[in-house]
A and B are shown apart, each in its own frame.
Chain A
Amino acid sequence: MADAVQSVSTSNRPPVLEIEGLKKHFPIKKGFLRRTSGHVFAVDGVSLKIHEGEALGLVGESGCGKSTVGRVILRLIEPTEGVIRVGGEDIRQLSKRELKPFRRQMQIIFQDPYSSLNPRMTAGDIVGEPLSTHGIATGRKREELVAALFDRVGLTRVQMKSFPHQFSGGQRQRIGIARALALNPKLIICDEPVSALDVSIQAQVINLLMDLQRELGLSYLFISHNLSVVEHISQRIAVMYLGKIVEYADKVTIFTKAAHPYTEALLSAVPVPDPRIRRKKIVLQGDVPSPVKPPSGCHFHTRCPYVVDRCKVEAPALREIAPRQFVACHLR
């Protein structure tokens, strides 16, 4: 697994973030005594590495654990197991105070711009809050920094005095981005940042994120269920299914030579906006199984069109099947 983390990228710049064997099992408590009756295996051994200035797309369907990965990296949720290295240092065991400088390097943008902004704070205060919390700037200086951030994300300075409900969805997402940028982070975790937006607004926000990446040398962990968006924004892509990475490679490889049957099906299910193209679709049968009782062996075997007996008993390891292409499948 550690090898996998090493070699997918061709970047020679230092990694901003490395995670190894990351696990998060949520206990299910039942009854009066709140005894643990089982676990939700939300993230079950994920290893990834993001270099400076790179965008890594993390793709999967609802419930596959992709958002949990993002939150565990920030330690908004405590991991059950695994290593999280930020700038080479393991932050998993750090205390809250020790963690603070690392938090400055990593920020997050959430999916829903309606519920992730405090409705009683002005947009200016929302963006300026991290500057105060981290003791970077107050008063007039903070105001100036916030104004510059508003310019940067395409909002007007007059809007600093407005409240979230006075903004449209796209503008709210810009506030979220400005807040994330306030501390000059190296890495931004984007958790479905455009899923709640209309198509025409989606493009505005994607363009903004890409411009910022180029200008500020940011790294992104771009979590999304939308493969077209991920294709557009990221250089490398990891596909998750039920808490595990099933395929991990650079973008071109994923989109031209996908090897895992799940990646194949996922790609073929995306509707193409061109009526002249009639593709042969692979329509998967059934639903994603519950992460409480993941299927034995390969988690995907219940829906896989190529399943053989071995898949039902033995979990496949993530192997390098071609240079810098990692796939967890017995048949590849």
Chain B
Amino acid sequence: MSQPQALQAAPMNTGMGNKRQAKGITGIAVADPLLTVADLKTYFFTRNGTVKAVDGMSFAIARGETLAIVGESGCGKSMTALSLMRLIADPPGRIVGGEVVLDGVDLLQLPEAQMRAMRGRDISMIFQEPMTSLNPVMTIGKQIAEVLTMHTRLSRDELQKKVVEMLALVKIPEPAQRAKEYPHQLSGGMRQRAMIAMALACSPKVLLADEPTTALDVTIQAQILELIVDLQRRLGTAVVLITHDLGVVAETAKRVIVMYAGRKVEEASAEDLFGDPLHPYTEGLMASIPRLGLMRGEGAEVDRLQEIPGIVPPLYNLPAGCVFAPRCPRADDKCRSEYPPYEEKRPRHWAACWHAGERANG
């Protein structure tokens, strides 16, 4: 499967000293990118064959920006985040290609010791299930202090002060008291707050949020999303929000990437993507979610939801041609034989589809 060529020339700026410049990326470019991911490939070598979990992922993100990566289970969105953190279990997985340039440093080229120094200080991640990602036998305060001890040289008192300050920042009531508690003593929402406090303790430049609210109730989800947006505004962190929930995307992100079977299939600003989806998968996803129509004064008519027929193909046995073709209403012979190039179909609106923008019925 040939990768689409990068359409933009790489900016070759020599005035940056020895800082590494990222290659041009296939996708929406941003002025003065903080983090650039170019043609990232993470493969898993299994008995059933090679699973191309992430197959040529590229994006750039500027300081303080929110970028959402959407897709269904197995589309590679979490693997992308784990690759950026270099937390892919090897074996069976390996990052086989690409660049991840954060502020002039290619993370994929760093020795492990230096990478460890970056994690938590420059790039942080929060996970879906706070209970399984917190240490159950360590107090919340100690776990936050651990990050700070690794990356800073604070005295014990300063450390304690900073921990309480972080817990207060994520709006945990009675922070000094809570710092002495263990994860099981906190509710799901509180644990997620504690994890955010830990991730932001060293004011990283990039926060990778992998389904941060999926395990939470809607009213708690609203609290956590509000908190992330608020902290981002205050600290200027760039946030990569990974989610399957298009509602969460629409409410928090400015720019969206849709992934399917390890690749980008579409990206645009949230307005363009929701207003005029070009890829049939994106269109299908949007049509298949039940919406609260009644609240917006739409009729009480109960229509059938639009389905995307079939299932995501197993990644070790992808069909030839466009991976979405077997489920696609627009698929023709060309789609079944040749993978469509990822192109800028409209200004700042990219998609990989031979029939981008054609409506299924038209």
Hey, which bits of chain A sit against chain B, CB under 8 A? 61-62, 168, 170-171, 198-204, 206-207, 210, 225, 227-229, 231-233, 251-252, 255-256, 265-277, 281, 283-285, 287-288
Contacts and interface: CB of A to CB of B under 8 A. Distances in A.
B12 interface: no
Interface in B213-254: 217-223, 225-226, 244-251
Contact of B226 (A207, A233, A275, A283): A283
A203 B307 contact: yes
30 contacts: A61-B217, A61-B219, A168-B311, A170-B311, A199-B72, A199-B244, A199-B289, A200-B284, A200-B308, A203-B289, A228-B292, A231-B292, A232-B290, A232-B305, A255-B292, A269-B222, A271-B221, A271-B225, A271-B248, A271-B251, A273-B250, A273-B274, A273-B286, A273-B291, A275-B270, A275-B271, A275-B274, A277-B296, A287-B187, A288-B217
Interface residues of B, number: 49
Interface in B24-73: 72-73
Given A170-B311, A281-B222, A284-B219, 7 more contacts: A203-B305, A232-B305, A256-B294, A256-B295, A273-B246, A276-B271, A281-B226
Contact of B307 (A171, A204, A266, A276): A204
Contacts of B226: 281, 283
A41 B293 CA distance: 34
Q: A interface, by DSSP: helix, strand, loop or mixed?
A: helix
Contacts of B248: 271
Nearest to A194: B290
B275 interface: yes
Contacts of B190: 287
A276 B275 contact: yes
A233 B221 CA distance: 23
A207 B307 contact: yes
A254 to B, nearest CB: 8
Nearest to A284: B219
Contacts of B247: 270-273
A168 B307 CA distance: 16
A291 to B, nearest CB: 13
A227 B219 CA distance: 12
Contact of B292 (A267, A285, A287): A267
Given A199-B289, A200-B308, A273-B250, A283 B294 contact: no
Contacts of A274: 250, 274
B302 A232 contact: yes
A204 B295 CA distance: 24
A207 B287 CA distance: 13
A123 B286 CA distance: 32
B307 A265 contact: no
Nearest to B309: A204
A192 to B, nearest CB: 13
Interface of B: 72-73, 187, 189-190, 217-223, 225-226, 244-251, 270-271, 274-275, 284-286, 288-297, 300, 302, 304-309, 311-312
Task: Choose among B73, B187, B218 the residue with the greatest number of A CB atoms under 10 Å from its CB.
Answer: B218
B223 A284 contact: yes
Task: Choose among B217, B225, B284 the residue with the greatest number of A CB atoms under 10 Å from its CB.
Answer: B217
Nearest to A169: B73
B250 to A, nearest CB: 4
A37 to B, nearest CB: 19
A201 to B, nearest CB: 7
A236 B181 CA distance: 43
Task: Choose among A168, A207, A287 the residue with the greatest number of B CB atoms under 10 Å from its CB.
Answer: A287
A251 B292 CA distance: 11
Nearest to A250: B300
A297 B312 CA distance: 50
B324 to A, nearest CB: 11
Contact of B289 (A228, A255, A276): A228
Nearest to A230: B290
A42 B300 CA distance: 33
A203 B292 contact: no
Contacts of A225: 217-218
A207 B307 CA distance: 8
A61 B220 CA distance: 10
B304 A207 contact: yes
B189 A287 contact: yes
Contacts of B292: 227-228, 231, 255, 267, 270, 272
A320 B302 CA distance: 26
Given A275-B270, A275-B271, A229 B290 contact: yes
Task: Choose among B221, B245, B294 the residue with the greatest number of A CB atoms under 10 Å from its CB.
Answer: B294
Given A168-B311, A200-B307, A288-B217, A231 B222 contact: no
A199 B246 contact: yes
A58 B300 CA distance: 19
Contacts of B286: 273
B288 A284 contact: no
B66 to A, nearest CB: 12
Contacts of B271: 275-276
Contacts of A227: 218, 292
A251 B72 contact: no
A203 B300 CA distance: 18
B300 A284 contact: no
A251 B294 contact: yes
Nearest to B288: A203
A268 B251 CA distance: 12
Contacts of B225: 271
A227 B222 CA distance: 14
B197 to A, nearest CB: 17
A288 B223 CA distance: 13
Task: Choose among A199, A225, A270 the residue with the greatest number of B CB atoms under 10 Å from its CB.
Answer: A199
A167 to B, nearest CB: 10
